[in-house]
Amino acid sequence: MSKVLLIGAGGVGTVVAHKMAQMPEVFTEILLASRTRSKCDAIANAIGSDRIKTAAIDAENVPELVKLIKSFGPDLVVNVALPYQDLPIMDACLETGVSYLDTANYEPKEEAKFEYKWQWVYHDKFKEKGITAILGCGFDPGVTNVFTAYAAKHHFDEIHTLDIVDCNAGDHGKPFATNFNPEINIREVTQRGKYFENGQWVETNPHEIHRPLNYPGIGPKESYLIYHEELESLVKHFPTLKKARFWMTFGQEYLTHLRVIQNIGMAGIEPVMYNGMEIVPIQFLKAVLPNPGDLGENYKGWTSIGCRIKGIKNGKEKTYYVYNNCSHEESYKETGTQAVSYTTGVPAAIGAMMYLQGLWKKPGVFNVEQMNPDPFMEQLNKRGLPWVELHDLDLEF
């Protein structure tokens, strides 16, 4: 018997709900709660399983969360709402003594700067309470952390360089759209670039460093160095790393739109007065952009995300590349969403499974690379995200 409270009914929440519903032996009861209850109902109806109950919740209101958690009595709360809700949901979990899992680290609304420090400080409180928090269990962060942990455990004595490469070679047919929440996505990709080298963080202008990289089954794609949240935890937990970087592909059309959006102030996070009321430009922009959850229908092509690693094994230099390719069309057929939601939602459901089966259960706050990667890697192959390993190859770096 295990009960899960799933918070957030966007693209990612849709996939998590589908995957959990496919595993009745693990997830006996599922309550899907979000700000707009009709979106939860639509997901539950599309799945057609009467095991999914729904509720409305403001996940920034701790007393409301506590009430909902107490009335449902879950074993785990899975948060796939927005990063702004991480801390109130963790507070409610602490108050009710229920474990927690999310896919993105906390970021204050008024400052576009995501960092783990906000959530890591909860470690002692979670430990004292005897409950677990699993942070960043999507694809990147999430699977990329598990890939790194798996490589370090099985293929290297020491890992020295890590390049996480994230390619979306899909085409949704729209001039401009983001693949997950537009507000969070635009805040992330317009930040200054940053990477880790020889014990220090090196900052770059946004998209200043780029190069073509070859993605398996896809070919060469221009890839841009950006800062991504898993770098922070990975360099902490793998102290042998001398260099760690994150690369993401962007098309010219996407970058041109992004530049215009920034130049005209539409990416702003400070409120402005409009017709006597305060509006936040980026939140207004989200309202007029395509909903990422609806992109799936005409989305063609693949995503390819993986880790390219150099290090030492038995005194010799070694290179290694582990990746997953995921089809937008197949993701849509199975869940009605595109591959970016799919590649995030499947690992969140697997992480929840790891916790409920006692495989990833320890008191405190943890990033996924601190857990045993093996059972998670096994489930990726079974649940729609198979991975491929390549050894001793040219990593292009």
- Choose, by CB under 6 A, the member of 140, 163, 232, 369 that binds ligand NDP: 140
Computed from CA positions of residues 91, 97, 98, 101, in that sequence, does the dihedral angle turn out positive or negative? positive
**Binding status of residue 293 toward ligand NDP by CB under 6 A:** yes
Instruction: For helices 328-335 and 11-21, give the axis angle rounded to 10 degrees.
Output: 60
The answer to whether residue 292 forms part of the interface with ligand NDP (CB under 6 A) is yes
- The conformational region for residue 314 under phi > 0 = left, psi -120 to 50 = alpha, else beta, is left
143-175 burial string, b = 16+ CB within 10 Å, else e? bbbbbbbbbbeebbeebbbbbbbbbbbbebeee
Site for ligand NDP in 11-50 (CB under 6 A): 11-13, 34-36, 39
Report which residue's Cβ sits closest to ligand NDP.
Answer: 10
Among 184, 295, 352, 365, binds ligand NDP (CB under 6 A): 184
Among the listed ranges 21-29, 132-140, 146-154, 296-304, the one in contact with ligand NDP (CB under 6 A) is 132-140
# residues contacting ligand NDP (CB under 6 A): 34
- 60 binds ligand NDP per the rule CB under 6 A: yes
Q: Is 9 in the site for ligand NDP (CB under 6 A)?
A: yes
User: Of 4-12, 250-258, 266-274, 355-363, which part binds ligand NDP (CB under 6 A)?
Assistant: 4-12
CB of 180 vs ligand NDP, minimal distance in Å: 3
- Whole-angstrom distance, CA of residue 231 vs CA of residue 32: 31
Binding mask 102-131 for ligand NDP (x = CB under 6 A): -xx---------------------------
Concatenate the DSSP letters of all residues of 335-379 into one string: HSS-HHHHHHHHHHHHHHHHHHTTTT--SEEEEGGGS-HHHHHHH
Task: Indicate the residue among 140 and 163 with the shorter CB distance to ligand NDP.
Answer: 140
State which of residues 17, 74, 83, 385 lies at the interface with ligand NDP (CB under 6 A).
83
Looking up tokens 């220090």 gives 200
State the DSSP code for 290. P
Task: Determine the Cα angle at 344 with ends 7 and 50, to 5°.
Answer: 45
Which of 165, 184 has the CB closer to ligand NDP?
Answer: 184
CA separation for the pair 58, 35 (Å, rounded): 5
Residues in touch with ligand NDP (CB under 6 A): 8-13, 34-36, 39, 57-60, 80-83, 85, 103-104, 138-142, 180-181, 184, 292-293, 340-341, 344
